[in-house]
Amino acid sequence: METTPSHIPAVRIRDLEKIFPVPLRRRQVVALRGLSLEIAPGSVYGLLGPNGSGKSTTLKILLGLVTATSGTSEIFGVSSSRVASRVDVGFLPENPYFYKFLTGAETIAFYGKLCGLTGSKLKARTAELLDLVGLTEAGDRRVGSYSKGMLQRIGLAQAMVHDPRLLILDEPTAGVDPAGSRQIRDLILQLKARGKTILLTSHLLEQVQEVCDRVGILAKGHMVREGSLDILTGVSGQTEFIIENASPDLQKEIASLAASRGARLVTARQPQLDLETVFLQATEAAKPPVN
């Protein structure tokens, strides 16, 4: 299926503008203004921004669910206006809706059938996806009884059912606890290692930092910052050292050496664990022993 030449971006958006009319009020909402971005095949791109900044609207236009007022969008070189652009794409919407009387396994099988899978292939793919998103044990429970995090995982499995080259995930870890979101993060990295391209939106900036190669920051429909993560987050003109067993004397010496060379020691402090690591260590330790 992988026939697109590698120099063609997985996603190309040019000068996108979206104005939503507000009926009866003679007003309009400008959701996007002159948005452009490109995503290289095999990379993970994070679209960030405050509530209402236009993230979901961008994804919906890309998927052909909403029509742009002006500008163009393409997936692997095919315009979003063509059905063919969506053949190799999986989508996790912001608020996924599932039939609550189906079990998790039946839900995945349902989407698999829509994508043309049948018989033993469908059965194997369903089991594989349930395992991939950590829902094997809950697979025969009704989706109506699932927690928010479990629903999010079923949504991810559904998006991957036809093994698409591009995954578009609107807030994949919304409502998921730290252990669950770490699994989702690992899954995204696993998919990237298999050559998939991923476009995601999120409000969880640390997680974005861990998985994304590039990020774009939207504000009021404008792209206000865009670039590779290293460049966006690197502090220019500073170098960080982590030294083990540095006595107060050694620290003083380092500071005066730096000063004598026209440099300045800005901070000397104990490195901190992030709260997520502390949380995971504490909750792992509290788990009842198996048997």
CB 10 within 8 A of CB 76: yes
The residues, any chain, with a CB within 8 Å of residue 142's CB and separated by 6 or more, are: 100, 101, 102, 103
* One of 37, 43, 55, 130 touching ligand ATP (CB under 6 A): 55
- Dihedral angle over CA of 274, 275, 281, 286, nearest 10: 180
The answer to the question of residue 224 lying near ligand ATP (CB under 6 A) is no
- CA 67 to chain centroid, in Å, comes to 23
| Residue window 23-42: x/- pattern of binding to ligand ATP, with contact defined by CB under 6 A | ------x-x-----------
Measure the CA–CA gap between 81 and 220, rounded to whole angstroms.
Answer: 25
The answer to the question of residue 54 lying near ligand ATP (CB under 6 A) is yes
Measure the CA–CA gap between 64 and 115, rounded to whole angstroms.
Answer: 18
* One of 33, 38, 52, 178 touching ligand ATP (CB under 6 A): 52
- Candidate ranges 47-55, 85-93, 135-143, 184-192; the one touching ligand ATP (CB under 6 A): 47-55
- What does 274-287 look like in DSSP terms, one character per residue? -HHHHHHHHHHHTS
Q: Which one of ligand ATP, Mg ion, none is in contact with 52 (Cβ closer than 5 to 8 A by kind)? A: ligand ATP
* One of 53, 85, 126, 173 touching ligand ATP (CB under 6 A): 53
Token pair, residue 259, equals: 């000063």
Measure the CA–CA gap between 279 and 178, rounded to whole angstroms.
Answer: 8
| Residue window 94-133: x/- pattern of binding to ligand ATP, with contact defined by CB under 6 A | x---------------------------------------
The answer to the question of residue 56 lying near Mg ion (CB under 5 A) is yes
Q: Which one of ligand ATP, Mg ion, none is in contact with 216 (Cβ closer than 5 to 8 A by kind)? A: none
Binding region for ligand ATP (CB under 6 A): 20, 29, 31, 49, 51-57, 94
